[in-house]
Structure 1
Amino acid sequence: MRIHILGICGTFMGGVALIARELGHHVTGSDLNIYPPMSDALAASGIPVRLGYEPKNIDPKTDLVIIGNGIARHNPCVDYVLNQGMDYISGSQWMCENVLRHQHVLAVSGTHGKTTTTALLTWILETAGLTPGYLIGGVPKDFKETSRLGAGKYFVIEADEYDTAFFDKRSKFLHYRPRTLIMNNIEYDHADIFPDIEAIKKQFQYLLRCVPSNGSVIFPNSDTNIQDVLSRGCWSTQMATGDESGWYAKLLTPDGGAWECYFKGEKRALIKWHLVGNHNVQNALAAIAAADSIGVAMHDIEKAFATFSNVKRRLEIRGCVNEVTVYDDFAHHPTAIATTIDGLRKKVGEQRIIAIAQLGSNSMRMGAHGDALSFSFQAADQVHVLRPEDKSWDVAAVLKPLGNKAFVHDSVADIIDVVSKAALKHDHVLIMSNKGFDGIHERLLDKLSV
């Protein structure tokens, strides 16, 4: 079958493309933003990608067009597909019909931690010899690709609550039919499509209805929004994390690099790994619970943690110049910013942390999280934020509680200039964005080396 994918360079749609190619389809795609790492992965798999959304990019002989959720109705290619009467489908629905429907799906959902938890759970199953299929919404360091079909009955998928397509406004995860469901957390996000937290809860409520009674739902006991959703109806086995009613951790090091894993008071594993931060420990407990629920042995779980490399852009060290370390992180929500800084603080102690942030998500650009933004940066010694294009709110006023340690900049070049002059030996520069941030990482490293 000849398949063309609109929005192919996103991590999810790129993953769909790789799986379609693995199934033997002839795959092409279009996107406005063609850049590594996904462009490299597609090229390595022999998938041609065309720049832009001109109708001429779609071969008239195409059998099916898969449309990404970022593609709007007014897109010229959408108009062409509809006018020509071509068959089209969303990426999530295609995954359901062609990959997931006969698999034991382990879905990882929640506002934060999905990508790390999905990658970790996949690596646990891989270490146990189960050869799972997977689709990860990031670039895993332990695998060559962001997705694959796998060779067994298990498929691990990152389950996003964002809407499916311009013609299907359900959350993407409602297509996945999970038998094992992880709900990491539920917070307000995606202000461009959800009017309030209740609208998000309703999608999770529908998701719970899709899990069979012989399936499992894994969640942290401390999350009140999840507790509210569960109270509306859950027909599956419930597995709690975070306290002695279920799975919990006893830290052996303050940064979470080593800890003991317990289940209802019984020690089950000794975990030593390269990740830091309490948020990652909580993600890990969910992955352990999911793996244990399908019979993975604890010695395989321990081995997987010892060798797990995480995904790119998760507190990833991009370089160290003149004893100044520069990190890259995907954090783009106040909670994620706060937990990332806290994890780094526990690792580096009293050494200075200079936080740099681009408010890249739709919610952040719109100022939907303004009330929580200054609090999220409190543990940093300096804060540098790129002023968002949306002028309907004043980011400088929002950051005012941070006093003279917060700076708002009108350009990336200005951030680089100021931070390169302010950075001292043993400083840690933490750059946070879910966008490319105009290549700030390499540009700053170059400036620091002068």
Structure 2
Amino acid sequence: MHIHILGICGTFMGGIAVIAKQAGFRVTGCDANVYPPMSTQLEAQGIELIQGFDASQLDLNPDVFVIGNVVTRGNPLMEAILNRGLPYISGPQWLAEQVLQDKWVLAVAGTHGKTTTSSMLAWILEYAGFAPGFLIGGIPQNFGLSARLPGEPVQEPGGRSPFFVIEADEYDTAFFDKRSKFVHYHPRTAILNNLEYDHADIFPDLQAIETQFHHLVRTIPGQGLIVANGKEASLDRVLQRGCWTPTERFGGQQGWQIGTAYDDGFDVMLDGRLQGRLQWALLGEHNQLNALAALAAARHVGVPVEQGIAALAQFQNVKRRMEVRGVEDGVTVYDDFAHHPTAIDTTVAGLRRKVGAARILAVLEPRSNTMKLGTMKDQLPASLRDADMTFCYGANLGWDVASALAPMGARAATFDELDALVTAVVAVARPGDHVLVMSNGGFGGVHSKLLAALKDRAG
């Protein structure tokens, strides 16, 4: 069977392409921007990529077109598909029907931490020999790829793992299906990591997102498990609308808790009882909470907590999560995916706890749809309070970055030219500083530009 994927170079649709290829489908695809690293990964799988959405791609004559949510009405290929009455389906629905239907799905939902927590959970199951399949919106470094089909579990030689871990996004499915992606997945185990207002381009307010989360809750069987953040009033409201599934809490006054914290980890507690000490290098309370959620979900499918803790001690974080890109002239440059004010706050705070009194120079690109609309602009100064200086790239925004960051005074500077930003950072950076770059996009390769400029400065 031949599928042609529209919007194939997005992380989610690219993952579907990899899984479909592994499952024996012939896979081709197109996107507006076909470039590395996704293009390289897909081509290495033998997947033919086409630049653009020209209607001539109908001549490929696939059995079905799989549509990513980047595709809108007016797209020339989509219009041709509609005019010809050809079969098409959304990516999440295709995945549900072709891959997830007979699986024990473990879904990780939430405004923040989905990719990291999904990666932790998949790794715990892998460490335990369960050989799970997964589709994650990043590249877990323990695996080196973002998606795969279930493999052969140690417990059942010659068999196929029933487990599939998926990052469950609340963003809408496609232009023709405005439900959140995650309602298609029908998980048996679901993590509700947190819930804040985001995606201002499609949701009018937090209550609208809570409604979508309750749609997810309605799909979870009574013999399943919901692992919910006990510190989130928004998730309490979701569950109070109706819940038919056992629930375990983490991070709150009951259930799974962070015990004594150490420089290299923390004690894992469950109902007031010590489960073990997790020793690792990850920063921040948010990652400790992610770990609790992953341990709880893994226990539901049969992984003892002690074994889960041992797995997380060997966990390597996802790329672009406080990833050190290099050190030049004594200055360390990090790359992080943080883009929502809450994620920015926790990321900077985590680095602050690591580096102590050393200077943190935050370099920020407000690039997400929500940030471009300016919905969260007033929260930015507080989210950057732990940074010594902030350099913000404000090109192509519909709001005034300088005004939004004005409360920070001389600690913030804004730029419309990337090279000018790089020059300004390098001019003030000194040995021992930590430059934290935060964006959910490529940011014009600013990390490499900063490192090259620092190297040139050092002679």
Aligned to 1:379: 386
Hey, what's the Cα distance between the residues in 2 that align with 1:55 and 1:413? 38
Q: Secondary structure at the match of 2:108?
A: strand
Aligned to 1:166: 175
Aligned to 2:187: 178
Mapping 1:33-432, distance limit 5 Å: 33-151=33-151, 152-253=161-262, 257-391=264-398, 393-432=399-438
Hey, what's the Cα distance between the residues in 2 that align with 1:227 and 1:299? 29
Deviations 1:108-138 (A, max 9, x none): 0000000000001000000000000100011
Aligned to 2:154: none
Q: Secondary structure at the match of 1:262?
A: strand
Hey, what's the Cα distance between the residues in 2 that align with 1:17 and 1:60? 16
Letter in structure 2 aligned against 1:204: F
> Any unmatched runs of 5+ in structure 2?
152-160
Letter in structure 1 aligned against 2:29: G
Query: Is this contact kept in 2: 1:4–1:58, CA < 8 A?
Result: no
Letter in structure 2 aligned against 1:332: H
Q: How far did 1:144 drift?
A: 3.2
Query: Is this contact kept in 1: 2:230–2:253, CA < 8 A?
Result: no
Q: How far did 1:142 drift?
A: 1.1
Hey, what's the Cα distance between the residues in 2 that align with 1:372 and 1:244? 28
Q: How far did 1:298 drift?
A: 2.7
Aligned to 1:19: 19
Hey, what's the Cα distance between the residues in 2 that align with 1:84 and 1:159? 32
Deviations 1:185-205 (A, max 9, x none): 110000100011111010001
Aligned to 2:447: 441
Q: How far did 1:244 drift?
A: 4.4
Letter in structure 2 aligned against 1:425: P
Q: How far did 1:57 drift?
A: 3.2
Q: How far did 1:37 drift?
A: 2.6
Deviations 1:370-422 (A, max 9, x none): 1211110110000011114233x222111111111000101111110000111
Hey, what's the Cα distance between the residues in 2 that align with 1:144 and 1:258? 24
Q: How far did 1:59 drift?
A: 3.4
Q: Secondary structure at the match of 1:59?
A: helix
Report the TM-score, using the length of structure 2 for normalisation. Answer: 0.96
Q: Secondary structure at the match of 2:236?
A: helix
Letter in structure 2 aligned against 1:48: E
Hey, what's the Cα distance between the residues in 1 that align with 2:128 and 2:438? 33
Hey, what's the Cα distance between the residues in 2 that align with 1:34 and 1:310? 26
Query: Is this contact kept in 1: 2:333–2:437, CA < 8 A?
Result: yes
Q: How far did 1:432 drift?
A: 0.3
Q: Secondary structure at the match of 2:262?
A: coil
Q: Secondary structure at the match of 2:187?
A: coil
Letter in structure 1 aligned against 2:183: L
Hey, what's the Cα distance between the residues in 2 that align with 1:41 and 1:374? 38
Hey, what's the Cα distance between the residues in 2 that align with 1:357 and 1:343? 16
The more displaced of 76-85 and 416-425 is 76-85
Letter in structure 2 aligned against 1:26: R
Q: How far did 1:303 drift?
A: 2.3
Letter in structure 1 aligned against 2:81: V
Hey, what's the Cα distance between the residues in 2 that align with 1:269 and 1:55? 58
Query: Is this contact kept in 1: 2:11–2:138, CA < 8 A?
Result: yes
State the identity %: 50
Hey, what's the Cα distance between the residues in 1 that align with 2:34 and 2:257? 42
Q: Secondary structure at the match of 2:59?
A: coil
- In structure 2, the CA distance between the partners of 1:319 and 1:94, relative to structure 1 (3 Å rule), is same
- In structure 2, the CA distance between the partners of 1:352 and 1:423, relative to structure 1 (3 Å rule), is same
- In structure 2, the CA distance between the partners of 1:251 and 1:315, relative to structure 1 (3 Å rule), is farther
Query: Is this contact kept in 2: 1:244–1:263, CA < 8 A?
Result: no
- Cα RMSD (Å): 1.1
Q: How far did 1:58 drift?
A: 4.1
